[in-house]
């Protein structure tokens, strides 16, 4: 678990608590407890990016806030979205419909977050993303209820491409993970490559969890 990610997730939880407390007078907390859901990959390939570390960061954030805001106890609930959009969406709906969750903090795959953010927008509930990197969330799919922290697929490749092009590495081939994040990453990176005078000679998609790339190469 990178300390920067822990710090980011902690900041997000403090932000979530603040947003929820500010909105309480307008639309009301769901009961006498402020419930914040942590949804991410708890056991798969992205578990080291957020996973159990973000849960620990959330608990520290609750402790730093004194365990309550405005006299309402803060409670966190946790779910493993398994990097599956249908699982993530089902969790979000269960939390909102049956468990009175007031805000969700995600470090989910972009494909999951795109589905969940539509629900959060319609319910007017805060949705905070750390590690979910598609630039879609700050462009065409921007939502007033969603805040994207840490990085996106616009910021990360821009610096990398500029540096590599300056070294004369101007011909590129993509091995791209086959879901929303990977496709956004490739599209944004391609723009910077072509704008800098480089060229992309091809690409291939691979499934999440692929560890042997020899056949693609």
Q: In terms of domains, do 22 and 124 share one?
A: yes
Beta-carbon contacts of 158 under 8 Å, excluding residues fewer than 6 positions away, are 188, 192
What is the C-alpha to C-alpha distance for residues 205 and 185, in angstroms, rounded to an integer? 12
Mean pLDDT of 100-117: 91
Q: In terms of domains, do 24 and 79 share one?
A: yes
Share of the chain above pLDDT 90, in %: 52
Indicate if the pLDDT at residue 77 is higher than 90.
yes
pLDDT band for 27, please (50, 70, 90 cuts): low
Q: In terms of domains, do 179 and 161 share one?
A: yes
Whether 216 maps to a domain, the answer reads no
What is the C-alpha to C-alpha distance for residues 129 and 5, in angstroms, rounded to an integer? 12
pLDDT at 139: 86
Q: In terms of domains, do 64 and 89 share one?
A: yes
Q: State the residue range of the domain holding 105.
A: 3-149
Mean pLDDT over the full length of the chain: 86
Q: In terms of domains, do 101 and 188 share one?
A: no
pLDDT at 21: 57
The lowest-confidence range among 5-9, 79-83, 128-132, 206-210 is: 5-9
pLDDT at 41: 92
Whether 112 maps to a domain, the answer reads yes
pLDDT band for 86, please (50, 70, 90 cuts): very high
Mean pLDDT of 169-195: 94
Indicate if the pLDDT at residue 19 is higher than 50.
yes
Mean pLDDT of 41-66: 88
Q: In terms of domains, do 135 and 115 share one?
A: yes
Q: In terms of domains, do 145 and 177 share one?
A: no
Whether 215 maps to a domain, the answer reads no
Mean pLDDT of 72-80: 94
Whether 213 maps to a domain, the answer reads no
Nearest to residue 50, comparing CAs of 8, 5, 80? 5
pLDDT at 131: 80
Q: How far apart are the first and last CA of the chain?
A: 30
Whether 13 maps to a domain, the answer reads yes
Nearest to residue 173, comparing CAs of 146, 204, 211? 204
Beta bridge mates, 40 = 80
Whether 214 maps to a domain, the answer reads no
Q: In terms of domains, do 24 and 108 share one?
A: yes
Domain boundary among 149, 166, 188: 149
Indicate if the pLDDT at residue 4 is higher than 50.
no
CB 208, CB 183: distance < 8 Å: no
Secondary structure letter of residue 42 according to DSSP? S
Indicate if the pLDDT at residue 9 is higher than 80.
no
Angle between helices 110-123 and 180-195 (to 10 degrees): 110
Domain boundary among 149, 164, 190: 149
What 3-state class would DSSP assign to 128? strand
Beta bridge mates, 5 = none
Q: In terms of domains, do 108 and 56 share one?
A: yes
What is the C-alpha to C-alpha distance for residues 131 and 111, in angstroms, rounded to an integer? 13
What is the C-alpha to C-alpha distance for residues 189 and 134, in angstroms, rounded to an integer? 12
pLDDT digits (tens, 9 = 90+) for 165-181: 999 999 999 999 998 88
Q: In terms of domains, do 194 and 119 share one?
A: no
pLDDT band for 13, please (50, 70, 90 cuts): low
Indicate if the pLDDT at residue 116 is higher than 70.
yes
Whether 212 maps to a domain, the answer reads no
Nearest to residue 133, comparing CAs of 195, 176, 185? 185
What is the C-alpha to C-alpha distance for residues 110 and 184, in angstroms, rounded to an integer? 9
Encoding tokens for residue 143? 């939502």
Kindly report the CATH number assigned to the domain that includes residue 186: 3.40.50.2300
Please tell me the total count of domains within the chain. Answer: 2
Domain boundary among 132, 149, 166: 149
CB 189, CB 118: distance < 8 Å: no
Q: Dihedral, CA atoms, 208, 88, 114, 16, nearest 10 degrees?
A: -120
Beta bridge mates, 172 = 200
Whether 41 maps to a domain, the answer reads yes
Q: In terms of domains, do 8 and 47 share one?
A: yes
Q: In terms of domains, do 104 and 62 share one?
A: yes
pLDDT band for 3, please (50, 70, 90 cuts): very low
């Amino acid at each position: 678990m990178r300390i920067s990610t822990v710090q980011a997730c902690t900041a997000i939880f403090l932000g979530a608590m603040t947003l929820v407390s500010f909105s309480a007078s307008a639309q009301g907390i769901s009961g006498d407890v402020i419930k914040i859901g942590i949804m991410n990959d708890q056991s798969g390939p992205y578990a080291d990016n957020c996973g159990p570390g973000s849960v620990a960061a959330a608990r520290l954030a609750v402790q730093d806030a004194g365990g309550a805001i405005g006299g309402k106890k803060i409670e966190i609930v946790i779910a493993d979205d398994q990097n599956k959009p249908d699982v993530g969406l089902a969790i979000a709906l269960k939390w909102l419909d049956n468990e009175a969750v007031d805000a969700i903090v995600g470090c989910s795959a972009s494909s999951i977050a795109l589905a969940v953010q539509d629900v959060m927008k319609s319910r007017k509930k805060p949705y905070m993303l750390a590690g979910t990197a598609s630039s879609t969330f700050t462009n065409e799919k921007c939502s007033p209820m969603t805040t994207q922290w840490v990085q996106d697929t616009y910021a990360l490749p821009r610096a990398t491409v500029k540096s590599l092009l300056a070294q004369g590495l101007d011909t590129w081939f993509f091995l791209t993970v086959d879901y929303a994040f990977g496709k956004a990453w490739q599209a944004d990176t391609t723009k910077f490559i072509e704008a800098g005078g480089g060229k992309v000679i091809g690409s291939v998609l691979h499934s999440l969890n692929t560890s042997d790339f020899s056949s693609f190469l």
